[in-house]
Structure 1
Amino acid sequence: MAYTLRVEALVGSVPILAAMGIRVVEVVPGRAVAELPPEPNVNHFGVTYAGSLFSVAEMLGGVLCLATFDLEGELAGFVPLVKESTIRFRRPAMGVVRAEASMSHDEVARVRDDALATGKGEFVLEATLTDAGGEVVASTVGTYQVRRLG
């Protein structure tokens, strides 16, 4: 699908994401899942670096926008932006980390309608990061926008 190509372009257009080895494993309108490999993301004491955990979660907002909103048609000229984001570290992460985020159909419709009416649609996105054993290692809450540039 076209949004899969846009998602690959997003990861490729941000060199640090590619260098971290981030891999988008599922992307459908309203949902995105990515994986972060242990290498090269291990810190000086053998667990996943906090900045890498933040990066894999934060980029899901852009991935979701590309997969969910028609940024080449109805919302042409709009881009996804992050306004703020927080992370809560729950336990050290080891091995492959999986990051997941989703938006409800109602929230997607509201953001789209707001964007068309005002030039920006704002939303809050929560992401959950789990280790290979399914344990939650971190969670994020970010405020994002689909915003018209220019």
Structure 2
Amino acid sequence: MLEQYDSLKTFVEQRIAFVARSALSLEEAKPGFARCRMPLANNENHMHSMYAGAQFTLADITGGVLALVSFDRERFYPTLKDLHIEFKQPARSDLTCTMRIDEESLKQLREQADRDGKAKFQLHGELCNNNGEVVAVAKGEFQVRALNR
């Protein structure tokens, strides 16, 4: 899946044309942790705040990145099953989204994926503005699935 890309960052930022046009960037990723950024520029709505679709994309991709770095990419791919966003206030700056999963939960999910060829899990992310204020909260159900099933 990643063979044609020189890095995970390039894959995440360029593989999906819509994501590339949004200028989303991967800031940090390691097993159990991912943080991405969405710029306000070119993602504004008619009220001069960030378009809800851009915020959804930020949460979706952040969860996908967490799965990519937490599971064997040569055996599993991530997919989004469900995502809800609660908007707290208008997003009038760039946003970051951070998602985490603890080590013990990750261990159990890897075992389940190895055994069943898939594993689903809940992720929660806070979308924060440049001042660190939470402007939205995302709750999603993600899944990894075996490539060869």
CA contact (8 A) 1:7 1:66 kept: no
2:97 match? 99
**Aligned AA for 2:16?**
V
> How far apart, CA to CA, are the structure 1 residues paired with 2:70 and 2:101?
9
1:39 match? 41
CA contact (8 A) 1:10 1:63 kept: yes
Question: In the TM superposition, what is the alpha-carbon distance from 1:10 to its structure 2 partner?
Answer: 3.0
**Aligned AA for 1:63?**
V
Query: Does 1:79 find its partner at 2:77?
Result: yes
SS of the residue corresponding to residue 117 of structure 1 reads helix
Query: Does 1:59 find its partner at 2:61?
Result: yes
CA contact (8 A) 2:70 2:106 kept: yes
> How far apart, CA to CA, are the structure 2 residues paired with 1:8 and 1:64?
15
**Aligned AA for 1:120?**
K
Q: Deviations over 1:40-88 (max 9, x none)?
A: 111111111111011101111210111111222xxx2x21011111110
Question: In the TM superposition, what is the alpha-carbon distance from 1:34 to its structure 2 partner?
Answer: 0.8
Query: Does 1:132 find its partner at 2:123?
Result: no
2:29 match? 27
Structure 1 unpaired stretches of 5+: none
Query: TM-score scaled to structure 1, two decimals?
Result: 0.90
1:111 match? 109
CA contact (8 A) 1:7 1:63 kept: no
CA contact (8 A) 2:119 2:145 kept: yes
1:9 match? 11
> How far apart, CA to CA, are the structure 2 residues paired with 1:105 and 1:122?
16
Question: In the TM superposition, what is the alpha-carbon distance from 1:11 to its structure 2 partner?
Answer: 2.6
Q: Identity rate of aligned residues, in percent? A: 32
CA contact (8 A) 2:94 2:129 kept: yes
SS of the residue corresponding to residue 32 of structure 1 reads strand
Question: In the TM superposition, what is the alpha-carbon distance from 1:7 to its structure 2 partner?
Answer: 4.1
Question: In the TM superposition, what is the alpha-carbon distance from 1:6 to its structure 2 partner?
Answer: 2.8
Structure 2 unpaired stretches of 5+: none
